[in-house]
Structure 1
Amino acid sequence: MPRPSSSPAAAATVTLASGPDHRPPASCEVPVNVYGGIRPASGLDRVAEEVPVAMVYNGISHAVMMASPCDLEDFALGFSLTEGILDRPDQLFGLDMYAREDGISVEMHIAGDCFARLREQRRNMTGRTGCGLCGTESLAHAIRPIGRVPAGPAPDDAAVQRALKNLRCYQPLQEQTGATHGAAWCDNEGRIHQAREDVGRHNALDKLIGARIRDHGPTAFDNGFVLVSSRASFEMVHKSASVGVRTLVAVSAATALAIREADKAGMTLIGFARPGRHVRYNRGDEFPVEESIDE
């Protein structure tokens, strides 16, 4: 929602300086005209920045993502793991970031066996924030096999509601701009321990995954759940399962494919997480349906 201001401003521009790590801010102010009130009013609005981010491995550009220019180190690690480019975080030997005239280049040095596999499977995936499959070579490559996640209890209603209630407190960029998604790691009581934001829902999740693994290693996703401010697509399920997330909670709907993939992984999938209610999609003995609670 625009916030009118009495001070005018020139049109906002972003300049990406040449050289290492001169990144633009995650948001900027632009002049706007507000309509719908008693009379039109001019002012300033804070909007989210969006820039092309190239993922470069051992000198070869593999993917270009439209992303928020913040927490890109976390993004690079999370993306590399959830896309199967790396099997372990210690296979990323080094990372340098360069602001180019037309975007940001994240240049990674990875293990030789990972790079050999990447070259074998390489595909053009420009613009993954939309569908996540642009450039896939064939139908057979569209849906990767999904692994099983560790067994564990699903969060109860109180934990989901607690996390949902506090999510906005961990989304400062969304509060400023209204244009970003959030992904948060929550413990079994619903307390949020870490969160990341991005204009793309996949990117926000990758950033969270990278941050958690960087800080906590193999125990990053023990005893808790991931909460995302978006729908639950099959790719959100795959990314979560790839690092052992047992439960994915989304504020919007899940797709049928996401539900089927979550079942294969043994993952608890929850959607339409709203104040006072949520929908649990999994069925069967492993995931018993909770009794409904009369409001």
Structure 2
Amino acid sequence: MSAVPARAALPPGAASREVERHRGDAVERVRDAVAEEVPVALLYNDRPHVVMMATPQDLDDFALGFSLSEGILDAAGELESVVVTPLLEGIELRLRVPPARAEALEERRRNLTGRTSCGLCGAQALEDAVRQPAAVRGGPRIDDAILRHALAQMHERQPLNAVTGATHAAAWARVDGTLAHVREDVGRHNALDKLVGALVRAGEDVHAGFLVVTSRASYEMVQKAATAGIALIAAISAPTALAIQLAETTGVTLIGFARRDSHVVYTQPQRLAARQEASP
């Protein structure tokens, strides 16, 4: 990325480090902006559940979104409180949930470290890893122009990636293509969890918009989105075969290779129509 002036204000989640930059035969020492990545531990009713490597911003959204997208909670109201505690080793998120939820979680408790590229780390059984969400009903109907309008806004809505080049983004577009919420993180799953939390906190109707992600559409991204009730996903990169299978069985419209002038619809194409030409 470009050199960072010594007193430049960085967006939350970025840090400044001195680096040695080589360009052709020239070598210079400059300040560079890099994305922060810290261990974030989630504890439910004081019991450790999982540690994720994440960008330390929007952590209240992350706590709620992770709890919902992982099926730990069924509704936002079940999250009674979140206490964010910075520690020398990382950050603790202490979540208070109803005892019945904590007991159910204990039965499938995962206490392993999840890495930024792995949304299934810590799953102890196949049924934990390959979880089938309920079918998604309804959802928006959009056309190509609306999708492209949403994509056109993505770059300017990613301030952290603009200075670091190291983060993913998950964005919520309304039915006219306007981006209403965007969350960034070094982990694509974390960015989606943060977005889910933000949507719920804002009272957004998940049937009245669609998801845009800057990563590939892996199985767990579709799983999280479907669990949250999101019916249409547009990914800038490719989906996997298992993601396509899950999207089909859960009724999710899955779009890959989304660009300003092209895209590929893999499942449930009825929600996306080609742009209609005006009548004579």
Relative to the length of structure 1, the TM-score reads 0.87
Call closer, same or farther: CA 1:236–1:265 in 2, change over 3 Å: same
In the other structure, the counterpart of 1:161 is 148
The CA distance in 2 between the partners of 1:250 and 1:73, in whole Å, is 25
Within the alignment, does 1:117 sit opposite 2:128 as a pair?
no
What letter matches 1:48 in structure 2? A
In the other structure, the counterpart of 1:282 is 267
In the other structure, the counterpart of 2:3 is 3
The CA distance in 2 between the partners of 1:246 and 1:240, in whole Å, is 8
Is the 8 Å Cα contact of residues 168 and 185 (structure 2) preserved in structure 1? Answer: yes
In the TM superposition, what whole-angstrom CA distance separates every residue of 1:44-101 from its partner, at most 9, and x where no partner exists? 1011110000001100010000000000000000000111111111111111111111
In the other structure, the counterpart of 2:47 is 60
Within the alignment, does 1:272 sit opposite 2:257 as a pair?
yes
Identity %, equivalent residues: 46
| Residue from 241, 247, 254 that aligns with 2:232 | 247
Q: Structure 2: 5+ residue runs without aligned partners? A: none
Is the 8 Å Cα contact of residues 154 and 268 (structure 1) preserved in structure 2? Answer: no
Matches within 5 A, 1:158-237: 158-216=145-203, 219-237=204-222
SS in 2 for 1:280: strand
Is the 8 Å Cα contact of residues 154 and 247 (structure 1) preserved in structure 2? Answer: no
SS in 2 for 1:41: strand
User: By how many angstroms is 1:154 displaced?
Assistant: 3.7
User: By how many angstroms is 1:168 displaced?
Assistant: 1.2
The CA distance in 2 between the partners of 1:64 and 1:132, in whole Å, is 11
In the other structure, the counterpart of 2:118 is 131
User: By how many angstroms is 1:200 displaced?
Assistant: 0.4
Relative to the length of structure 2, the TM-score reads 0.91
The CA distance in 2 between the partners of 1:98 and 1:124, in whole Å, is 19
Is the 8 Å Cα contact of residues 63 and 124 (structure 1) preserved in structure 2? Answer: yes
The total of aligned residue pairs comes to 273
Q: Structure 1: 5+ residue runs without aligned partners? A: 9-23
SS in 2 for 1:252: coil
What letter matches 1:192 in structure 2? L
Greater relative CO, 1 or 2 (CA 8 Å, sep 6+): 2
Is the 8 Å Cα contact of residues 125 and 133 (structure 1) preserved in structure 2? Answer: no
Call closer, same or farther: CA 1:98–1:262 in 2, change over 3 Å: same
The CA distance in 2 between the partners of 1:215 and 1:84, in whole Å, is 20
